[in-house]
């Protein structure tokens, strides 16, 4: 079996926290003969994966280098602070960066937030991953600030989280190599943008239909309107009195 005989496939990358289920379902409904393969990738490696053709498109965290990658921003995530369930902060519905001033805040090496300066007091050592930082929060070592999707991804029964204001937020985008915008990439862009299956994008416009002439009216049996200058009206009455009188005058014999 040669490569040309294999059905085309679409490889979709996604970073932790993104749930592409909805878009994958729509893809499978519209293109059942084109398999979609999901490729999980750490946020820091997503752009490199797309550049190296490891995926056709991917859900990434902004910013990305736009010199060779296209990106469509999709949504902005709420930033939260992950805390133990017995922490005093559970008494409030929302926290600010100033509320963390005296807290040890863990800053993992794979942090996806664009900090100028992380809030709180730094830990003695930075955890390698967000998953490692979650374990340290559960052990009472410190707190962790992450996008809400990552807090949900690493959910534990002994931890909870609260929205945090006054800090950076993470934005999710669909990205792909600019020079490799294939038909399948365009199809997926349409799905993400909510384009319906009956969308006219990319289809030639319907040519205008020719207008029906007088000949068409004759064929259809439509009666022609009598001329305005006729001698009789529609009811058969005289329209020109002189013409009617002339017709009624007797002719002289020679």
Which residue, 147, 165, 183, sits at the end of a domain? 165
Q: How far is residue 80's CA from residue 9's CA, in Å, rounded to a whole number? A: 37
Q: How far is residue 105's CA from residue 55's CA, in Å, rounded to a whole number? A: 35
Domains in the chain, number: 2
| Cβ count near 136 (within 10 Å) | 18
- Enclosing domain of residue 104: 79-165
Q: Are residues 149 and 85 in the same domain?
A: yes
Which pLDDT does position 8 carry in this prediction?
78
Beta partners for residue 143, in sequence order: 105
pLDDT at 156 over 70: yes
Has residue 97 been placed in a domain?
A: yes
Mean pLDDT, residues 23-52 taken together: 96
Has residue 136 been placed in a domain?
A: yes
Q: Are residues 108 and 121 in the same domain?
A: yes
Has residue 243 been placed in a domain?
A: no
Q: 156: Cβ–Cβ under 8 A, 6 or more apart, which residues?
A: 134, 138
CATH classification of the domain holding 58: 3.40.190.10
- State the pLDDT confidence band at 22, using cuts at 50, 70 and 90: very high
Q: Are residues 104 and 139 in the same domain?
A: yes
Q: ω into residue 92 within 30 of 0, thus cis?
A: no
Q: Are residues 107 and 62 in the same domain?
A: no
Which pLDDT does position 196 carry in this prediction?
80
Q: How many helices (H) and strands (E) does the chain have?
A: 7, 11
What is the full DSSP assignment across 14-40?
E-TT---HHHHHHHHHH-TTS-EEEEE
Which pLDDT does position 51 carry in this prediction?
96
Which pLDDT does position 195 carry in this prediction?
86
Q: What Å distances lie between residue 57 and 21, 112, 135, 188, 201, CA to CA?
A: 15, 20, 32, 9, 20
pLDDT in tens, 64-112: 999 999 999 999 999 999 999 999 999 999 999 999 999 999 999 999 9
Please give the model's pTM, rounded to 2 decimal places.
Answer: 0.74
Q: Are residues 113 and 66 in the same domain?
A: no
pLDDT in tens, 192-225: 999 887 764 544 444 445 555 554 444 444 555 5
Q: Are residues 42 and 94 in the same domain?
A: no
pLDDT in tens, 130-148: 999 999 999 999 999 999 9
Has residue 204 been placed in a domain?
A: no
């Amino acid at each position: 079996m040669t490569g040309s005989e294999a059905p085309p496939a679409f490889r979709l990358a996604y970073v932790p926290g993104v749930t592409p289920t909805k878009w994958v379902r729509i893809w499978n409904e519209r293109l059942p003969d084109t398999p979609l393969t999901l490729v999980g990738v750490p946020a820091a490696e997503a752009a490199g994966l797309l550049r190296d053709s490891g995926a056709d498109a991917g859900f990434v965290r902004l910013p990305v280098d736009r010199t060779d990658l296209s990106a469509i921003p999709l949504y902005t995530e709420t930033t939260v602070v992950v805390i133990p369930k017995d922490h005093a902060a559970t008494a409030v519905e929302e926290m600010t960066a100033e509320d963390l001033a005296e807290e040890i805040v863990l800053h993992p090496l794979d942090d996806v937030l664009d900090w100028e300066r992380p809030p709180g007091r730094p830990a003695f050592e930075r955890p390698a991953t967000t998953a490692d930082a979650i374990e340290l929060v559960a052990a009472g070592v410190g707190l962790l600030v992450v996008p809400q999707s990552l807090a949900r991804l690493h959910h534990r029964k002994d931890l909870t989280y609260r929205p945090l204001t006054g800090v950076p937020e993470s934005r999710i985008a669909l990205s792909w190599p600019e020079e490799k915008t294939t038909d399948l990439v365009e199809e997926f862009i349409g799905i993400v943008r909510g384009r319906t299956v009956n969308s006219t994008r990319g289809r030639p416009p319907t040519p205008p239909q020719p207008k029906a002439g007088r000949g068409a009216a004759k064929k259809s049996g439509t009666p022609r309107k009598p001329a305005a200058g006729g001698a009789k009206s529609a009811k058969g009455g005289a329209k020109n009195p002189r013409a009617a009188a002339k017709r009624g005058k007797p002719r002289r014999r020679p």
